[in-house]
Amino acid sequence: MPHPFALFGTSHIIALILPFVLPPLAARAVQPERRPELDRWIRWILGAAMTANWVGWMLLLHGKGWLGVDNEFPLNLCDWATVATVITLFWPNQRTYELAYFWALAGTLQGMMTPDVQLDYPDIQFVLFFIFHGGIIGSVLYLTFGLKLRPYPASIPRAIGWTLVYAFVAGMFDWASGANYGMLRMKPPFPTILDIMPDWPWYIGVLVAMGVASTLIYYAPFFVLDRLRGRNEAARSAVATP
């Protein structure tokens, strides 16, 4: 029988680690450039599995009697991240990839760190929640390591702009319905990083600052790699110059 969920317990730690470990291994095993057909099958299976898991999650909420104005509409940032990720899995492209990348690491990861689940593994809520959120991160990292998709400097303002669009849509719906999508109306009843922030509405500004900072942080590895490659190319050119 499942035990109450333990924050950063063994099951939680494993669920946090797997989305970061399995995608690079899968990309190395598949080698999309050499086996594009296998890669396409992997991506389509991932996209179908994420879609089916989302449906399963909604059916679970319905079956438990937990559906309400706060969760029956696709207005959580993870919902938008799922759409961007599934589209990119089926039809790889830069614009939806970069949204999926930043939303997965800056938003979905936070949801996995402080999940809204009551029971530990193997409870179905635990399984569906972490497949849902871990699937977003894992798929994005597979696209990054396997298809070599990556964000660019122009991705930063686009990602920030679309995040503000999300906040506006969710905020207007919250205002009209009394819901709390994006945690824009109040702090949630379960533990989150918002607990160490000021009260509403002041924590909204902190969230905006954190969103911009996390976007820059998650772009930083590519910035560093580009600088290192530029130096290496300059060094090779200097050596080759007679």
The number of angstroms, rounded, from the C-alpha of 22 to the middle of its chain's C-alpha atoms is 16
Please tell me the distance from the alpha carbon of residue 116 to that of residue 120, in angstroms, as a whole number.
Answer: 11
Residue 3 belongs to a domain: no
Total structural domains within the chain: 1
Residue 2 belongs to a domain: no
Residue 49 belongs to a domain: yes
Write down the pLDDT at residue 79.
Answer: 94
Residue 29 belongs to a domain: yes
Residue 198 belongs to a domain: yes
Buried b (16+ CB within 10 A) or exposed e, 201-219: eebbeebeebbeebbeebb
Residue 59 belongs to a domain: yes
Full residue range of the structural domain in which residue 146 is found: 10-240
Residue 5 belongs to a domain: no
Write down the pLDDT at residue 100.
Answer: 97
Backbone angles phi, psi at 27, to 5 degrees: -65, -40
Strand partners, 120: none
Nearest to 89 by CA among 138, 53, 124: 138
Write down the pLDDT at residue 232.
Answer: 63
Residue 57 near residue 116 (C-beta atoms within 8 A): no
Residue 96 Cα distances to 21, 84, 86, 91, 140, angstroms:
23, 5, 9, 9, 11
Per-residue pLDDT of the chain (242 residues; tens, 9 = 90+): 668 999 999 999 999 999 999 999 999 999 999 999 999 999 999 999 999 999 999 999 999 998 999 999 999 999 999 999 999 999 999 999 999 999 999 889 988 998 989 899 989 999 999 999 999 999 999 999 999 999 999 999 999 999 999 999 999 999 999 999 999 999 988 888 888 999 999 999 999 999 999 999 999 999 999 998 887 665 555 555 55
Residue 169 near residue 177 (C-beta atoms within 8 A): no
Residue 102 belongs to a domain: yes
